[in-house]
Structure 1
């Protein structure tokens, strides 16, 4: 499964690299591209600005049709805001919230996400 992600501090990037899957990193310099295969999104928890990056990406071309799920990273110190961006995307697009993990995740978090992605195909 291809992964689309945003990493402001590098922690989400570290997690994505542990998965061993193809990925696309979006940023201010690279906000959109047309996906050609199914993908999941992994988003950090940084509020509305981060969500807007993903809205722009998902709404570009045919990307919405290929989106299969979302996972989120964050810090549990954020309390109810922990993984709020990923929860918002899952709700807005009617896709599964696959997993939420703290910071760059653990090996167990990697295995959980891999299993969840297998379950959705």
Structure 2
């Protein structure tokens, strides 16, 4: 069974919950499984334990911002920097097939803003977005997009 690598951040558990359901769906529908690593667990003594990534992966990122409205203020990332540090390390950005953002639509312009900031900074696409723990429709749509990205990898 093919394994799909995912690096992500989950603080409240919503993104982890989404990935568990996405993994289940991938196994049932695509005969592929996710290997997902919460990079908040790769922090020791306040420092990210970055390493070289040698295979393609996807990133999943909730938005945690410092308040404001996401336009004039409130566009500064907080709590998710270990993922930024991992992607920025060495040539890791080159292996990212895209990022999926999550958040709460109640935050209007800040919804998934961090994922869009990463995409601009690192030069990969935002594959999709979902709210909170996501829905079954989100899982199916995102799985399809991820699978499509995997089939487009040059050999």
Scaled by the length of structure 1, the TM-score of the pair is 0.90
- How much does 1:60 deviate? 1.6
Give the structure with higher Rg (CA).
2
Matched, 1:108 2:123: no
1:37 aligned onto 2:37: no
CA distance in 2, matches of 1:90, 1:79: 19
Name the counterpart of 2:89: 60
CA displacement 1:57-89 (0-9 Å, x = unmatched): 111233112111000110000100000111111
| Partner SS, residue 100 of structure 2 | strand
Aligned partners of 2:7 and 2:83 also within 8 Å: no
Q: The residue matched to 1:22 in structure 2 has which SS?
A: strand
Native 8 Å contact 2:60 2:101 kept in 1: yes
Q: Do residues 94 (structure 1) and 146 (structure 2) align?
A: no
Is the contact between residue 18 and residue 110 of structure 1 (CA under 8 Å) also seen in structure 2?
yes
5+ residue gaps in structure 2? 24-33, 66-76, 151-155
Gap regions ≥5 residues in structure 1: none
Partner residue in 1 for 2:14: 11
Distance 1:17 1:36 in 2: 24
What is the number of residues matched between the two proteins?
121
Alignment RMSD: 1.5
TM-score, normalization by structure 2:
0.72
